[in-house]
Structure 1
Amino acid sequence: MSRSPMRREERIAVLVPVVVMFTLGLWGLDRDGMWRDEAATFQVARRSLPQIWHLLRSVDAVHGLYYLLMHPVLAVHPGEVLLRLPSVCGAAAAAGLVAALGVRLGRPRVGLWAGLLYAVTPMVGHYAQEGRSYALVAAGVAGATLLLVRAVEGGRWWPYGVVVAVTCVLHEFAALMLAAHACTLALARVPGRLWLRWGSAAGAAVAVLVPLVLVSRGQAEQVAWLTVPDARSVRGLVEQFFGPSRRVLVPCLGLAVLGALAPLPRGVSLAGVAAPLLVVPPTVLMAVSQFRPLYYDRYVLYSLAGVPLLAAAGAERVVGSARRLRLGGWTHIDRRLYGDGVALLGVVAVCCVFLVQLPLLRDDRRAAHRPDDLGAVSAAVAQRVRSGDPVLFLPSLERRSALAYPAGFRGVRDVALGVPAAESGTLYGREVGPEELRRRLEGLRYVWVVTERYALDSSWTPWNATDRVKLAVVKRDFVTREEYVRPHLTLRLYVRRQVPPSNGSN
């Protein structure tokens, strides 16, 4: 086959997954309602650069580069679509890079199948529509992996080092890709000079990351909610990576195992790239988390790229075996028609995977599918709370709904707020101390409380002294007059108890 048609096939194999992923990412992107993590991106990225820097010194340094990248994006037109659009672009780029890896290490149809399978995976679609950095990190890791392959085959190493450094600063757990890449080099049995060049590039990237690691270690309380991963965590990750439906999981897992068991030639191979990328980062993070919990599935989203690559490689092995069993000779036209037919058959198989998982993809595009809907909270407040009414947020982080959707809270009186979020260098603002809050509450005849159901449970004890005062005072001095309950929201109107008349003499 001439090189020109091959290049055309390679371009098609890469561009089709990009277009499919971008289209799926745009589907339902304008859904209303940011959830809490998206709201953090939205309100922080809209601050001035000095205010963002002020925040990062005390909290969320791990997301600092992402906030800085989102700052000019949201300056254009703040809203849900622009908040999520960079993630759509990141997921589309990742799909194309996965396809490019399949093309370079296999053949065009392998890349086409891998890129399309990546694009229709529900976990990919989920983070493609979320205003956080994970889809961009996945694109960065896929890009760094492709640059690693090129460097080993004679390319330059500095682009690899730059992309690794930027990706790791975007999210520091992306540094685990270096362990996967080391395994790839070991499986490829590269000579010592390549190990030295890779070590120099990787070392430079790690040196760039070290200051962020030191700062984020001082902010470790942000991930104090994480738990030690167990067998359920492993099972959950397998379902997320290979497909929640058994009709997808079983054949995809079988093909991936077949692809991973392919004989490894000397040099970089598809299995030698994909298997370490899939296995090493989650395994290392889960192992470390047995001593200090740091694992969450989205932190290793980028490892998912190994699944479609291995599954496509496994499918290619099946095709090769079937072809060897065919009797008779092959003409040039026969081979071309056979190759096109096989490629089309693989695309049809991916379409079937898409149809099986379509209900999951459709449900994921509803705001109710996220952990919470801050837009719904703001709308509920707007319907019931009048301008000038006093409001308490319990706990204080419930103020995030007012920061993300301030229109619903316009004119209300935030009783506990001392210094606003942007000025205080915090995510949710700095509240007044317990005594000042008691003084402010003394003169109120009524107060609205925005909270979640768990915060009103008798067994819950706030860690924050100001939140403890809120809870104690409203329970002691007020009674509930109205209550509006939704998932992840309780809005209560408390009115002051009537003081019984004294029986003593005047």
Structure 2
Amino acid sequence: MPGLSHRTPAPAVVISALSALVIAGVGLDRPALWRDEAVTAGMARRDLGSFGSVLGEIDAVHGLYYLLMKGVVALFGDGEAALRAPSVLGAVLAAGATAELGRRLGGARTGLFAGLLVALAPALSRYAQEARQYTLTAGLAALATLLLVRALRDRCHLRWYGVALALLGLLHLFALLLVPAHLATVLLRRDRALLRRWAAAAAAALAPCAALAVVALPQSYQVSWIERPDAAAVTEMLDSLAGTPGFFAFTVVLVLLGRNGELWRTAAPWMVLPPLLLLVLSLWNPFYVFRYVLFCLPAVALLTAAGLDRLRWSAGLPVLLAAALLALPAHQRMRQPSERADDLRELARIVRTESRPGDAVVFHYTSSRRAMSAYPDAYTGLDDVLAVRPGQGLDGLEAPSEQFAGRLAGVRRVFYVHHSREPAANPFADADALKESLLRSSPATWTRTGRWLFKGGSVHLYERRPPFT
């Protein structure tokens, strides 16, 4: 990107980026897609007409990411590895840009330590193995901060900083909590001319984000499931930002040890202000979820690396090795099905194995229909019997509840999919209850002949009795 040096990347950058690529990429297709990733897969396959109509109703805040994923799917297919590859590249960018930031602000060792701490962080690797945009926001946050530091040091133009900031906000609006942190960094320089230049660049970047916010604000009901953060949520956030489970106490000591003027002025506001502002906001209206502040992880790594740099190699390397060893169980655990809310691959396997031509499928919750977007081949030939407009909206449109019995009248066998957790905002609760009643409470009409469990729910096979003729 223009605005960065065209010299060969420093060894710290290369080592950190390659480490992130290897760590995040191992077992990339091992975890099954889960419901959020199913939305990504479904949106990426849509034609542009239905794509735009969905964003007009819901998920506009993710529109740029979905557009990016449309290109990925068109070029590389919709397999698990292809869907998650941009997230891996986001982790690579986060590690490489953090290493370069550390090198510029603290020296070669600080850069190497910072980049490796980012690459080793289980939280980053966890979201690198998910087809969502959160590691991309971490990478863009690190890149934007790097461009800001370069502009502040060399007094060059901030246009590329503004571009990075705009992309960051368009990928996820909550990532714009980085802006107050950057403002604090600029104010600490006590340079009015610099402040005016930064304000102009930030205002230009925020303009398209403001337009997105106007569209997305009426859709905020989609995060109504978020609960007010408690002490446990804050503790989990601190542990995750520290990078490695059990490493929090060491991180605090190293952060305090490594107080370095310019690095501290850059990374400390970035580490503190976005999570703090989001937590305070969530006391009024709950919005806090850890993945929304994942982009602050590079800041913690920079401050920790500055502390490690104060130690001799003989002390610093063992601490880094200890962090890697402590992180290993978390990296292994995150690749297990238990780490996702549901296992849509297992659901697809059950349906694929047990279904016959002419069978139907009914989803207890309308929003569960998005499971078909994760592994669509498994549902080929199944009649989504209650759907009248499968492509409308995020989850399709179902027939009115008074038509349910009629639509099931000609069905011999139906797979009934029930997720364990009810959607927080469920305007179809009454209709959903009727589906269950028609099948489970009508033994004279239906008999259950099969039941299978998957992570996150169950599948029930109902057959009509007497035998369908």
TM-score, normalised to structure 1's length?
Answer: 0.85
Determine helix, strand or coil for the equivalent of 2:460.
Answer: strand
Structure 1 unpaired stretches of 5+: 1-6, 320-341, 499-506
Match in the other structure for 1:490: 458
Cα 1:263–1:380, aligned 2, differ >3 Å: closer, same or farther?
A: closer
Structure 2 letter corresponding to 1:415? V
Cα 1:58–1:22, aligned 2, differ >3 Å: closer, same or farther?
A: same
Deviation at 1:451, TM superposition (A): 0.9
Structure 1 letter corresponding to 2:365? P
Cα 1:20–1:258, aligned 2, differ >3 Å: closer, same or farther?
A: same
Match in the other structure for 2:362: 392
Structure 2 unpaired stretches of 5+: 1-6
Question: Does residue 1:229 correspond to 2:229, yes or no?
Answer: yes
TM-score, normalised to structure 2's length?
Answer: 0.92
Deviation at 1:120, TM superposition (A): 0.3
Match in the other structure for 2:395: 428
Q: 2:296 aligns with which of 300, 303, 306?
A: 303
Determine helix, strand or coil for the equivalent of 2:248.
Answer: helix
Deviates most, 473-482 or 156-165: 473-482
Question: Does residue 1:317 correspond to 2:318, yes or no?
Answer: no
Cα 1:237–1:461, aligned 2, differ >3 Å: closer, same or farther?
A: closer
Structure 2 letter corresponding to 1:185? V
Equivalences for 1:94-493 in 2 at 5 Å? 94-153=94-153, 154-189=155-190, 191-243=191-243, 245-246=245-246, 248-259=247-258, 262=259, 264=261, 269-319=262-312, 342=313, 346-421=316-391, 424=392, 426-444=393-411, 446-453=413-420, 463-477=428-442, 478-493=446-461
Cα 1:36–1:461, aligned 2, differ >3 Å: closer, same or farther?
A: closer
CA–CA distance in structure 2, aligned partners of residues 145 and 223 of structure 1: 28
Cα 1:290–1:50, aligned 2, differ >3 Å: closer, same or farther?
A: same
Report the count of equivalent residues.
453
Deviation at 1:471, TM superposition (A): 2.3
Determine helix, strand or coil for the equivalent of 2:414.
Answer: strand
CA–CA distance in structure 2, aligned partners of residues 88 and 405 of structure 1: 21
CA–CA distance in structure 2, aligned partners of residues 490 and 480 of structure 1: 13
Contact 1:461 1:468 in 2 (8 A): no
Contact 2:421 2:456 in 1 (8 A): no
Contact 2:90 2:138 in 1 (8 A): yes
Structure 2 letter corresponding to 1:179? P
Contact 1:395 1:462 in 2 (8 A): no
Deviation at 1:416, TM superposition (A): 0.8
CA–CA distance in structure 2, aligned partners of residues 399 and 463 of structure 1: 13
Q: How high is the sequence identity, in percent, across the aligned residues? A: 39
Structure 2 letter corresponding to 1:294? F
Structure 2 letter corresponding to 1:293? P
Deviations 1:219-256 (A, max 9, x none): 1111010011122111010111114532x222122112
Deviates most, 221-230 or 482-491: 482-491
CA–CA distance in structure 2, aligned partners of residues 432 and 463 of structure 1: 11
Deviates most, 297-306 or 26-35: 26-35
Contact 2:244 2:323 in 1 (8 A): no
Deviation at 1:465, TM superposition (A): 4.0
Deviations 1:77-115 (A, max 9, x none): 221111111111111111011011111111011000010
Deviation at 1:26, TM superposition (A): 1.6
Structure 2 letter corresponding to 1:473? L
Cα 1:22–1:345, aligned 2, differ >3 Å: closer, same or farther?
A: farther
Deviates most, 462-471 or 431-440: 462-471
Deviates most, 274-283 or 47-56: 47-56
CA–CA distance in structure 2, aligned partners of residues 149 and 244 of structure 1: 27
Contact 2:341 2:455 in 1 (8 A): no
CA–CA distance in structure 1, aligned partners of residues 79 and 317 of structure 2: 35
Determine helix, strand or coil for the equivalent of 1:219.
Answer: helix
Contact 2:97 2:139 in 1 (8 A): yes
Cα 1:11–1:203, aligned 2, differ >3 Å: closer, same or farther?
A: same
Deviation at 1:345, TM superposition (A): 5.6
Structure 1 letter corresponding to 2:264? A
Determine helix, strand or coil for the equivalent of 2:90.
Answer: helix
Deviation at 1:496, TM superposition (A): 5.0
Determine helix, strand or coil for the equivalent of 1:482.
Answer: strand
Deviation at 1:270, TM superposition (A): 0.3
Contact 2:121 2:244 in 1 (8 A): no
CA–CA distance in structure 1, aligned partners of residues 245 and 204 of structure 2: 42
Determine helix, strand or coil for the equivalent of 1:493.
Answer: strand
Match in the other structure for 1:339: none
Contact 1:375 1:401 in 2 (8 A): no
Deviation at 1:183, TM superposition (A): 1.3
CA–CA distance in structure 1, aligned partners of residues 321 and 183 of structure 2: 35
Structure 2 letter corresponding to 1:387? P
Deviation at 1:351, TM superposition (A): 2.8
Determine helix, strand or coil for the equivalent of 2:341.
Answer: coil
CA–CA distance in structure 2, aligned partners of residues 217 and 198 of structure 1: 27
Instruction: Return the index of the structure with the highest Cα Rg.
Output: 1
Structure 2 letter corresponding to 1:466? A
Cα 1:112–1:345, aligned 2, differ >3 Å: closer, same or farther?
A: farther
Structure 2 letter corresponding to 1:164? L
CA–CA distance in structure 2, aligned partners of residues 196 and 462 of structure 1: 48
Contact 1:172 1:209 in 2 (8 A): yes
Deviation at 1:139, TM superposition (A): 0.8
